[in-house]
Amino acid sequence: MDTNQLAQTILENVGGEKNVTSLVHCATRLRFKLKNRDLVDKTQVEAIPGVVTVMESGGQFQVVIGNMVPEVYEAIGAISNLTNDDSTETTTNKDETIFGKFIDLISTIFTPLLGVMAGAGILKGLLSLALNFKLVMPDSSTHIILNAIADSLFYFLPMLLAITAARKFKANIYVAVAIAGALIYPTIIELTASPKAVHFFGIPIVMVKYTSTVIPIILAIYVMSIVEKFLNKRLHQSIKNFITPAILLVTIVPLTLMFFGPFGVYVGNGIASILTAIIAFNPIIAGAVIAASWQILVIFGLHWGIVPVMINNIATMGKDPLKPSTAISVFAQAGASLGVMLKTKNKEFKALSASAALTALFGITEPAVYGVTLRLKRPFLIGILSAAVGGGIAGYAGSAGYASGPSSILMIPAFYGPNGEGFVGFLIAIAVSFTLAAVLTYLIGFEDIPSETTTETNNKDTIQPTTSVQSETIASPVNGVLLPLSDVKDKAFASGILGNGIAVVPSTGEIVSPVDGFVTVAFKTGHAIGLLSDEGAEILIHIGLDTVQLDGQYFDLKVEQNQHVKKGDLLVAFDLDAIVTAGFDVTTPIIITNSTNYEDVIPTEKQETQMGDRLITLL
């Protein structure tokens, strides 16, 4: 399935654009905020080809895709208004908790900056190495230029956060940037170093330096958004476009300098001091606990509560003692995936594990965690244990991160500080966690995924797909009246994006197998079933439209996933009259989901069909 088809299918299965309050994405996930969660079948979304898994956390419905997520996000934007930065949709989920709202706030503000943070962080680390090995001199113009390139993001961080915060709080982005610019204006920065007392109309101001800070600008833009909405409701249309920005600038900047700024800086310094004290008390235990818990936090999306703390530590202390442990957890999961790759006998799963391990090394752990280690359970636990060992080593060595950004093999230079303190220990820690996870996973083992290509032909309990499709005839699985797929009152089916086929309006309440083959998907709700014929056809039979909402009521599933069936075997029994009485359309699409593998998919031209009749010819 290409990105356009994947985007269309995902959007349809989350209830369409009308059911989505907002959509953002991170490195691997589409993060939906839904108006009505009850309209969405999580299992059905997870079954979409191209979707790794679905997570729900922090009030978000998170569809994990992997490295293709930017392309899918862009494709959704092409068919909807969900990626429009100027959207003013303010509908919220009333059931969302305060903590969930906080996680959503942090993730929305910081996610757009993670990529450039990683790039700048790599450059800062490489520049530190170059200085240490005297490849460049600190007073040279070359170093001045390179340092400006690497440090500009962090120096002007309040301005970038002003943009993302303004989008989140639905405030004027340009006014927000102007406020941030005033906080880091050269003469304002000079006042922080001045021995003279600073006053604003006689009111004393405690001057602090705002470059690289996080909390003050977020507080400022939040207050600005409230004041802006208040003014826009009360000022006349003819003047509010220029009077509102003027009032905001002249009020929010002084308020930030007097209150929000010092409060935010003191809070940030306080958090940094507490963390420093904890790590200083026992750095080994602290490092081990952080490393062991990080991937668990990531699974539930709770790590976003810690990201601004780490960024703030770098801003206030010049380094962050938490970041090495988070990086070590990434390498541990990569090692566990490598161990799975070496151990598994399943060729397809071996390829998946190898790809997931490589992707994890470059900072994207979702394919490794959701697709490999967590799926097998034991490797995930081994990864946590190995990360704890590595975290303890990094804590003992006093390792720290000196730049922000997602942890990966490319970010290793960002852990090299001015004097190289703790860097060797960090290298040892990631090597130990990676190797230990791989070796333990291989030695301890796991319950392997049954092979789909090497199974004996007489084994009737596992799927045996062929490497290539062959021409074949698909029989009718049900009695009823035939409809062209284009007449189905469901855009996903009617458009053909799921594949070519035909639809039947059933006259009886039984679905039988149209081929000899294997059951690949057997929804517990019984409303849909997937088959793989012995000749290679992938078939989806979807009983009725939106019948997933019945949650299995009136359906009786007769088979299990991976079960081998013969043509004519009963797959599902259902109460046709009850489903119709409940108000559901019983039109049943029969789709060849791998239609692109065939030269032609030819539905029958008959108007009615009986079980066993020729329904579709595949060439």
Residue entry with tokens 């301890």? 444
Chain center to CA of 151: 28
Find the range with the poorest average confidence among 40-44, 99-103, 129-133. Answer: 99-103
- Quickly name the fold that domain 472-618 has: Glucose Permease (Domain IIA) (2.70.70)
pLDDT value at 459 more than 60:
no
Residue entry with tokens 């990105």? 3
Q: Which of 229-233, 382-386, 418-422, 581-585 has the highest mean pLDDT?
A: 382-386
Name 401's bridge partners.
320
Report the mean per-residue pLDDT for the chain: 83
358 pLDDT band (50/70/90 cuts)?
Answer: confident
Q: How far, in Å, CA of 315 to CA of 317, rounded?
A: 6
Q: Report the b/e string of 224-234 with b at 16+ CB within 10 A.
A: bbebbeebeee
> What is the predicted pLDDT for the residue at 588?
93
Between 352 and 10, the higher pLDDT residue: 10
455 pLDDT band (50/70/90 cuts)?
Answer: very low
Percent of the chain residues past pLDDT 90, beyond the cut: 30
50 contacts 69 by C-beta, under 8 angstroms: no
The region that residue 490 occupies, defined by phi over 0 for left and psi between -120 and 50 for alpha, beta otherwise, is beta
> What is the predicted pLDDT for the residue at 431?
95
pLDDT value at 369 more than 90:
no
> What is the predicted pLDDT for the residue at 238?
81
Find the range with the poorest average confidence among 342-346, 371-375, 476-480. Answer: 371-375
343 contacts 387 by C-beta, under 8 angstroms: no
Interval 122-127 mean pLDDT = 76
> What is the predicted pLDDT for the residue at 90?
41
pLDDT value at 460 more than 50:
no
pLDDT value at 295 more than 80:
yes
Q: How far, in Å, CA of 556 to CA of 572, rounded?
A: 6
φ, ψ of residue 407 in degrees (nearest 5): -75, 135
Domain 3-79 CATH assignment equals 3.30.1360.60: yes
> What is the predicted pLDDT for the residue at 301?
53
The region that residue 341 occupies, defined by phi over 0 for left and psi between -120 and 50 for alpha, beta otherwise, is alpha
326 contacts 313 by C-beta, under 8 angstroms: no
Sequence-separated contacts (24+) of 307-311 with Cβ below 8 Å: 307/106, 307/110, 308/106, 308/110, 308/214, 308/215, 309/271, 309/272, 309/275, 310/401, 310/404, 311/110, 311/157, 311/214, 311/404
pLDDT value at 466 more than 50:
no
Interval 200-223 mean pLDDT = 86
pLDDT value at 419 more than 90:
no
pLDDT value at 315 more than 50:
yes
Between 190 and 314, the higher pLDDT residue: 190
For the CA atoms of 467, 471, 475, 480, what is the dihedral angle to 10 degrees? Answer: 110
Q: How far, in Å, CA of 518 to CA of 499, rounded?
A: 19
Between 401 and 463, the higher pLDDT residue: 401
Helix or strand (DSSP H, E) at 34 = strand 29-34
Helix or strand (DSSP H, E) at 557 = strand 555-557
41 contacts 35 by C-beta, under 8 angstroms: no
Q: Which of 94-98, 159-163, 231-235 has the highest mean pLDDT?
A: 159-163
Find the range with the poorest average confidence among 133-142, 265-274, 479-488. Answer: 265-274
Find the range with the poorest average confidence among 243-252, 304-313, 534-543. Answer: 304-313
> What is the predicted pLDDT for the residue at 452?
43
pLDDT value at 120 more than 80:
no
pLDDT value at 376 more than 90:
no
pLDDT value at 361 more than 80:
yes
Q: Provide the residue type at 565 as one letter.
A: V
491 catalytic? Reply is no
Q: Report the b/e string of 329-359 with b at 16+ CB within 10 A.
A: bbbbbbbbbbbbbebbebeebbebbbbbbbb
Q: How far, in Å, CA of 584 to CA of 576, rounded?
A: 10
Q: In sequence order, what are the residues at sequence separation of 6 or more whose Cβ sits closer than 8 angstroms to the Cβ of residue 207?
A: 188, 191, 192, 194, 198, 257
Residue entry with tokens 């962050």? 320
503 contacts 487 by C-beta, under 8 angstroms: yes
Between 490 and 203, the higher pLDDT residue: 203
Q: How far, in Å, CA of 574 to CA of 44, rounded?
A: 19
* Global confidence as pTM: 0.49
Find the range with the poorest average confidence among 108-117, 251-260, 459-468. Answer: 459-468
Write down the catalytic residue from 7, 26, 76, 393: 26
> What is the predicted pLDDT for the residue at 491?
66
Burial of 421 (0-12, 13-18, 19+ CB in 10 A): middle
Q: What is the pLDDT of residues 20-36, one digit of tens each?
A: 988 887 656 788 889 89
pLDDT value at 385 more than 90:
yes
Interval 173-194 mean pLDDT = 91
Between 278 and 319, the higher pLDDT residue: 319
pLDDT value at 94 more than 80:
no
**Domain boundary assignment for the chain:** 3-79, 137-273, 282-444, 472-618
Q: What is the pLDDT of residues 42-71, one digit of tens each?
A: 888 988 888 877 877 667 888 877 667 778
> What is the predicted pLDDT for the residue at 353?
85
Please, where are the H alpha helices in 57-211? 69-79, 98-110, 114-132, 141-155, 157-169, 173-183, 186-193
Q: How far, in Å, CA of 33 to CA of 104, rounded?
A: 9
Interval 384-400 mean pLDDT = 93
Name 512's bridge partners.
570
Interval 521-545 mean pLDDT = 87
Q: In sequence order, what are the residues at sequence separation of 6 or more whose Cβ sits closer than 8 angstroms to the Cβ of residue 299?
A: 55, 369, 374
3-class DSSP state for residue 305? helix
Find the range with the poorest average confidence among 59-68, 224-233, 548-557. Answer: 59-68
> What is the predicted pLDDT for the residue at 92?
47
Q: Report the b/e string of 128-151 with b at 16+ CB within 10 A.
A: bebbeeeebeeeeeebeebbeebb
550 pLDDT band (50/70/90 cuts)?
Answer: confident
312 pLDDT band (50/70/90 cuts)?
Answer: confident
